[in-house]
């Protein structure tokens, strides 16, 4: 896996541009990786609704839950589906809207200096081996391309927004990830 330094995209990966991104603040070093989970509708996998959410084309009539998130403008740099399929929504040099109100080691607005990676899943459903393999390959590639990213700065959404978020949840095996890095 290789990241093109001129485009900040992973070479050969499906790129679906999200409008829910903007420029990072000037002179902002990217030094944090935030791992999330998502499923749409909640607890259902492989429906394609995550892509629709991140590109603002989610049909609110497709499921009752979607009326609750109508108008939500969010994105992530990457999505790793249960099968291990990887999709990029935002180039790494841009700010994806994934963390919301957040703080890491005294710095607020984590979107400014982080890369968000969504895993298709839930807090209490085991992630697949394919997801861990792809996630570790992505992180290694990110660290090779952006030397400010250290293994000590890989956190869950729950670590930067503990009052609001619980993902990637108790089912995420941090030791398994560390062993693969």
Catalytic positions:
118
Please, are residues 20 and 56 in contact by the beta-carbon 8 Å criterion? yes
Please, are residues 99 and 160 in contact by the beta-carbon 8 Å criterion? yes
Quote the Cα angle for 69-71-77, to 5°.
85
DSSP 3-state assignment of 72? coil
Please give the helix or strand (H or E) that residue 36 lies within, else none.
strand 32-38
Q: How far apart are CA 118 and CA 22, in angstroms?
A: 18
Using omega within 30 degrees of 0 as the cis cutoff, is the peptide bond preceding 168 cis?
A: yes
CB hemisphere CA count around 132 (13 angstroms): 15
Contacts of 162 (CB under 8 A, 6+ apart): none
């Amino acid at each position: 896996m290789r990241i093109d330094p001129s485009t900040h995209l992973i070479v050969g990966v499906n790129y679906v541009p999200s409008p829910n991104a903007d420029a990072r603040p000037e002179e902002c070093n990217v030094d944090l990786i935030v791992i999330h989970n998502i499923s749409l509708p909640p607890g259902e996998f492989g429906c394609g609704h995550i892509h629709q959410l991140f590109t603002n084309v989610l049909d609110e009539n497709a499921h009752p839950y979607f009326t609750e998130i109508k108008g939500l403008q969010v994105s992530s740099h990457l999505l790793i589906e249960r099968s291990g399929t990887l999709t990029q929504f935002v180039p790494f040099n841009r700010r994806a809207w994934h963390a919301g109100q957040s703080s890491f080691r005294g710095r607020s607005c984590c979107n400014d200096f982080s890369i968000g990676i969504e895993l298709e899943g839930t807090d209490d459903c085991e992630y697949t081996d394919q997801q861990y393999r792809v996630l570790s390959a992505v992180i290694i590639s990110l660290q090779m391309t952006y030397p400010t990213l250290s293994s000590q700065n890989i956190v869950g959404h729950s670590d930067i927004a503990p009052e609001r978020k619980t993902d990637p949840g108790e089912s995420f095996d941090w030791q398994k990830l560390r062993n693969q890095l």
